[in-house]
Amino acid sequence: MHVRKIIREIRKVGRYLGNYGKFYREGKTPIVLLTKEENLRNKSVRSGKDLGFWGRQEQRQIRTKMDLNMDLNAPHSMGTTIIGVTYNGGVVLGADSRTSTGMYVANRASDKITQLTDNVYVCRSGSAADSQLVSDYVRYFLHQHTIQLGQPATVKVAANLIRLISYNNKNMLETGLIVGGWDKYEGGKIYGIPLGGTLIEQPFAIGGSGSSYLYGFFDQAWKEGMTKDEAEQLVVKAVSLAIARDGASGGVVRTVVINSEGVTRNFYPGDTLQLWHEELEPQNSLLDILNSPSPEPMNI
């Protein structure tokens, strides 16, 4: 009861003001401020059949805009930072470990680098469900393909299978993937498959919402023909920088190195990473700082 009263008050006073004012002025009540009964009542009227095809889409857009306060036509930024980098002899894949549901961190140690075959892995970003399902399907197809082929699948085939699913279901899926691996024909290869299902082979790829902060970094720090250690350090540094600035990225840095010798998984907990601007050395307690000896006086 109390809630309904508040809603009515908001409607009276808040009309024409704030984020929802625009919709009132257009003669529409934002769904978030309707009571459940009113919403259900409106549903039959808002069937949209009379609005034609684009009317339906506009309806959907308005509703999503109101609910999520976002512009549907701008590309979705996806929580996560994922990176794939080729080096002289193989590839290094890296990712953060944060899975969020809205503002809550559902899993602070997730593994976003998923195995497709012995020699091909994929970094997942965007919707957790979508990316998991796509990887599961591709793993299944690749397994069959490997049996039929009689030898390990190539990275190109894996990437094309991902593209096939991403492209043909582009309206349903919200996931950006980076496929990386090693095969005996082409060596180490990285393929980026962003939203929409474009397949693009790159010497290095970045994805997820955290990647916005890394375009400049990679423009400056990337070079052709790095060694394995250089490449891995670059990836760890980059993910760590993205974690520092992107709220949707966090936790630990996981890397997977794939080359002719095999696959190596590495794990870098937050406290092993270097500190960036305005970050402080972690302490056990304030008491330790208070009890420690005071700093030396300056020698002027």
Q: What residue ranges bind another protein (CB under 8 A)?
A: 39, 43, 47-48, 53, 56-57, 59-60, 63-64, 67, 72-75, 78-80, 98-102, 106, 110, 112, 124-129, 131, 163, 167-172, 174, 192, 194-200, 202, 208, 212, 215, 248
Of 80, 99, 117, 175, which residue is the catalytic one? Answer: 80
Q: What Å distances lie between residue 65 and 44, 130, 189, CA to CA?
A: 21, 22, 39
Report yes or no: 256 and 264 within 8 Å, Cβ to Cβ. yes
Compute the distance between CA of residue 254 and CA of residue 267 in angstroms, rounded to an integer.
Answer: 5
- Provide the β-strand partners of residue 200: 192
Instruction: Verify whether residue 154 is a known catalytic residue.
Output: no
Closer to another protein by CB, 119 or 191: give it.
191
Joined together, the tokens standing for residue 9 give: 């008050």
At its nearest, how many Å lie between another protein and the CB of residue 115?
18
C-alpha 28, offset from chain centre:
33
Q: What Å distances lie between residue 73 and 70, 127, 138, 196, 267, CA to CA?
A: 9, 18, 29, 13, 37
Closer to another protein by CB, 118 or 201: give it.
201
Closer to another protein by CB, 43 or 223: give it.
43
Closer to another protein by CB, 6 or 68: give it.
68
Compute the distance between CA of residue 209 and CA of residue 104 in angstroms, rounded to an integer.
Answer: 16
At its nearest, how many Å lie between another protein and the CB of residue 241?
18
Q: Provide DSSP, 150-165.
A: SSPPPHHHHHHHHHHH
Nearest one of 96, 30, 65 to 236, comparing CA atoms: 96
Ramachandran angles phi, psi of 280, nearest 5°:
-110, 155
Compute the distance between CA of residue 137 and CA of residue 135 in angstroms, rounded to an integer.
Answer: 6
Report yes or no: 129 and 136 within 8 Å, Cβ to Cβ. no
Closer to another protein by CB, 170 or 265: give it.
170
At its nearest, how many Å lie between another protein and the CB of residue 99?
5
Closer to another protein by CB, 119 or 254: give it.
254
Q: Return the active site residues.
A: 80
